[in-house]
């Protein structure tokens, strides 16, 4: 069995590795969040897709990236392991807190792994690396509980029973807290004053965003959900292969469902140089073809259904898959094929791209909520807040900029 200083040194090493991998994951998170179409080195396609996991709503907890929380936890673990690594002769509060921290980390990692497999249906190499580090960390630290005194006469922080109870509590609290964070619903609000009170930073940020006339953003050919005269018009410039666009698609689907006061207009802005001269290389090489396929489905009156299928399968947008989705939807395949290869279809995508460029779109998703420019996907709750603000500003009229 390892002596205590050796065990603490290994624990310190594990924590240091955890800090490094967490910082790397945070860098990937921030680059994806920038909405420039960045694809990480560990996005291997198929089930193994770091971007889909990191960019999901579960990549952030209580407004903080999970990777940032992980870096802080591992750093705290390194600090707590340091006294033992330097040869501290007796157990103390540091060992007790280290047991709680490591146990809690294991519990939270279990919750995130279940979400990744059971909800997102994707695996993240960086996340799995952190999971492996946490398991090794736990295996290293858990035996430290045997160093605590078995006698009931020792101080409570030196008792073996207390050490085991603290470790078990850390594990259970992390599982419960992680599960709550995963399933929590959006905070509700009904008035602008409540939005100001609950999230003043968002209110200040959102209400100072630049506004463009909605009539400059749409034309008669754009696919639209909802009443053109709805009080709130959302115009979305998007890319079917963009991970953050997938999250925006899911949230906007919820936002617009059953809402007579909200309309959604979809416009293409593939980050693929084959149809978008505003990007220097094909960040998403299947995005242009997917956009054309959506337009072809739209010619058969099925744009929104096909749009949903593309976002639900955004890692498989190669030509064969596009035809498979068309067949599964019972589209007219000869007409679909002829449309997909027709120059007029590509011209339709070019039309959206140029409209986006004129509006200042440089990344996806870019949303215009009553003309208010929002770059990147919002937190789910913030969509609700934005609608409250806009509905209050236009209580009985059409969207801003409408005639």
Closest CA to 225 of 329, 305, 314: 305
Full DSSP string of 352-373:
HHHHHHHTT--SSSEEEETTEE
Q: How far apart are CA 211 and CA 373, in angstroms?
A: 6
Is the pLDDT reported for residue 402 higher than 50? Answer: no
E strands in 62-158: 64-65
Q: Which fold has domain 192-393?
A: Glutaredoxin (3.40.30)
Give the pLDDT of residue 37. Answer: 64
Is residue 397's pLDDT more than 60? no
pLDDT at 62 over 90: no
Q: What is the pLDDT of residues 212-255, one digit of tens each?
A: 998 889 987 899 999 988 999 999 999 999 988 998 998 999 88
What is the mean pLDDT of the segment spanning 322-332?
96
| Predicted local confidence at residue 183, as pLDDT | 65
255, 383 contact by CB (below 8 A)? yes
How far apart CA 25 and CA 31 sit, in angstroms, is 10
Give me the chain's average pLDDT, please: 86
Per-residue confidence (pLDDT) for residue 153, from 0 to 100? 59
Question: In sequence order, what are the beta bridge partners of 223?
Answer: none
Domain extents for the chain?
4-183, 192-393
Same fold, 4-183 and 192-393: no
**The pLDDT of residue 144:** 85
Closest CA to 102 of 133, 68, 60: 133
pLDDT in tens, 21-33: 999 999 988 887 7
Q: Which residues pair with 232 in a beta bridge?
A: 262
Instruction: Tell me which architecture the domain covering 4-183 has in CATH.
Output: Up-down Bundle (1.20)
Q: How confident is the model at residue 89 (pLDDT cuts 50, 70, 90)?
A: low
């Amino acid at each position: 069995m390892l002596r205590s200083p050796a065990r603490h040194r290994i624990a310190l090493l594990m924590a240091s590795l955890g800090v490094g991998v967490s910082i790397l994951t945070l860098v990937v998170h921030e680059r994806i969040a920038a909405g420039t179409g960045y694809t990480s080195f560990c996005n291997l396609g198929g089930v193994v897709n770091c971007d889909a996991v990191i960019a999901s709503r579960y990549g952030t907890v209580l407004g903080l990236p999970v990777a940032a929380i992980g870096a802080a936890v591992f750093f705290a673990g390194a600090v707590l392991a340091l006294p033992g690594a330097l040869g501290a002769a007796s157990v103390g509060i540091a060992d007790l807190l280290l047991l709680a921290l490591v146990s809690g980390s294991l519990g939270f990692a279990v919750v995130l792994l279940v979400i990744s497999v059971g909800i997102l249906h994707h695996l993240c190499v960086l996340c799995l690396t952190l999971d492996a580090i946490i398991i090794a960390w736990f295996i290293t630290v858990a035996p430290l509980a045997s160093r605590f005194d078995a006698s009931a006469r020792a101080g409570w922080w030196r008792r073996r029973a207390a050490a085991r109870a603290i470790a078990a509590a850390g594990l259970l609290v992390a599982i419960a807290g992680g599960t709550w964070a995963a399933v929590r619903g959006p905070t509700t609000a009904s008035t602008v004053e409540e939005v100001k009170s609950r999230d003043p930073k968002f209110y200040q940020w959102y209400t100072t965003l630049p506004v463009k006339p909605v009539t400059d953003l749409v034309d008669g050919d754009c696919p639209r959900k909802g009443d053109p005269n709805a009080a709130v018009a959302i115009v979305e410039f998007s890319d079917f292969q963009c991970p953050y666009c997938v999250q925006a698609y899911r949230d906007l689907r919820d936002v617009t469902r059953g809402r007579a006061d909200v309309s959604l207009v979809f416009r293409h802005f593939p980050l693929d140089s084959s149809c978008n001269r505003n990007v220097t290389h094909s960040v998403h090489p299947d995005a242009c073809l997917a956009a054309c396929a959506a337009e072809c489905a739209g010619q058969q009156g099925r744009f929104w259904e096909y749009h949903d299928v593309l976002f639900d399968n955004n890692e498989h947008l190669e030509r064969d898959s596009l035809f498979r989705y068309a067949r599964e939807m019972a589209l007219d395949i000869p007409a679909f094929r002829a449309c997909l290869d027709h120059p007029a279809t590509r011209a339709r995508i070019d039309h959206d791209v140029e409209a986006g460029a004129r509006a200042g779109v440089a990344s996806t998703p870019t949303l215009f909520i009553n003309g208010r420019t929002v770059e990147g996907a919002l937190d789910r709750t913030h969509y609700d807040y934005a609608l409250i603000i806009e509905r209050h500003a236009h209580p009985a009229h059409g969207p801003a900029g409408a005639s």
